[in-house]
Amino acid sequence: MARSKAEIRDLVQREDVQYIRLIFTDLLGILKNVEIPVSQLERMLDNNVAFDGSSVEGFVRILESDMLLHPDLDTFRIATWEHSQTGKVAACFCTVCGQDGQPFEGDGRVVLMRAVERMKAAGFSSFHIGFEPEFYLLKTDECGRPLIEQTDSGSYFDLAPIDTQVDCRRAIIHELIKAGFEVEAGHHEVGPGQHEINFMHADVVSSCDQVLLFKLIVKNVAKRFGVHATFMPKPKQGIAGSGMHTNMSLFDAEGKNAFYDPQGRMQLSDITYQFIAGVMEHVIGFCAVTNPTVNSYKRLVSGYEAPCYVAYSDRNRSALIRIPAPRGSRTRCELRMVDPTCNPYLAMAVVLEAGMDGIQRKLDPKEPMHVDLFSLSHEEREALGVRELPRNLMEAYEAMAHSHLVRHVLGESLFQKFLRSREMEWNEYRQYVSSWEVQKYCERF
């Protein structure tokens, strides 16, 4: 049941809130906010807090800069992760709107909500997502700047004293629970200094809100412990990258898991296979959205369990899509290539629309792959009909430029802005001379 204005007023008064952060994201999914004192609460509740949209990446032009923030009151919470010296702070996710009150087509949250509306029009009630974001805790210098130096030498599921940041991870979990997360587990990941905290799945818009808040809380708590949390996909050569495995479930009009069929092959419905086939068909075209940075493609290489090839399986972790064992209401597909640098709203919008396209066209994903795709040669994978994901941001950019689905989901204006931003990043990167190049070529030539 949606929270009312009266409930928000009561919460603010009861908790003695002094400031409210109105949170939204830019084109790339970077969190932004307008902070108001509690005296402006009524203006917030009337959807009348404005900001200059021309100053935000991917938003409007200077001549049409005035935008409004419409708070989603269901996301209103006390920002317990902030240790403010001037009173309690609350936070609330917002939808960006124009001065006419209409949702702004350049807001990723709006793009996702429209994709959900189209899904419901096709006869489904909800799309649930469970994210698994990984991150590294790094040492910092005397000024608090991150060093590319891990905080321990641990690996999968290690305990203290090898896992030196167990207290930091527990403090993060503690803050997540206070913020309303249902945390399932936390553990040391495979990389030295790498961690993962899993929280309960939710409807897709709420899950995207949650993962952005999760990253904010992780970074704030890590700073209190004198370390830096990074969600960079590949912070250092030779160690495991950080992904954001994405567990997906689709529910029918009666609220039943549409991926489950006790009589189906692997107890999966035809809809499951069609959804998977749609994602597989469009994944190369939307990879620039789910893996949007130069660094994203340093993770998508053989040897580190990050998928490079377009295939699906039940247990095979070299495949793009894995189908975990649980069935019934917990039946789901796991998309393994997504990373934490994406704008989750845009990423999930294109994934959902790709899956829905597969359902509408009754696509067939063919047979699952039960071989280690990393161990096969290019010719062997080609013989099996297994395509490769883009090898760098430019390849992903070029594939996206030809994707009719991504153009449709984002809308022409946002599509062009996103492409332009990725082209600019690639051009900036390709002009940079790395230390590897200097070491490789300076003396030799």
Separation CA 335–CA 287 (nearest Å): 12
Residue 60 confidence (pLDDT)? 62
Separation CA 218–CA 138 (nearest Å): 13
Residue 84 confidence (pLDDT)? 76
Residue 431 confidence (pLDDT)? 95
Q: Cα angle vertex 368, ends 325, 386, to 5°?
A: 135
Residue-wise pLDDT tens digits, 388-429? 999 999 999 999 999 999 999 999 999 999 999 999 999 999
DSSP 102: P
Catalogue the active-site residues: 52, 132, 134, 189, 196, 245, 317, 334, 336
Residue-wise pLDDT tens digits, 191-235? 889 999 999 999 999 999 999 999 999 999 999 999 999 999 999
Q: CB burial class (10 A; 0-12, 13-18, 19+) of residue 234?
A: buried
Span between the terminal Cα atoms of the chain, in Å: 69
Separation CA 21–CA 201 (nearest Å): 25
* Mean of all residue pLDDT scores within the chain: 92
Instruction: Concatenate the DSSP letters of all residues of 19-34 into one string.
Output: EEEEEEE-TT--EEEE
Token pair listed for 313: 């399986």
DSSP 304: S
Among 277, 278, 272, CA closest to 260 = 272
Task: State phi, psi for 394 to the nearest 5 degrees.
Answer: -65, -40
Instruction: Reply yes or no on whether the pLDDT at 1 is more than 70.
Output: no
Among 350, 417, 333, CA closest to 116 = 350
Residue 62 confidence (pLDDT)? 47
User: In whole angstroms, how far apart are CA 66 and each of 27, 35, 237?
Assistant: 17, 16, 44
380 torsion bin: left (phi>0), alpha (psi -120 to 50), beta (else): alpha
Instruction: Reply yes or no on whether the pLDDT at 24 is more than 90.
Output: yes
Whether 124 and 212 have beta carbons less than 8 Å apart is answered as no
Q: Residue written as tokens 């950019």?
A: 397
Averaged pLDDT, 29-48: 94
What the chain holds in terms of domains, given with CATH numbers, is: 5-104 (3.10.20.70), 114-413 (3.30.590.10)
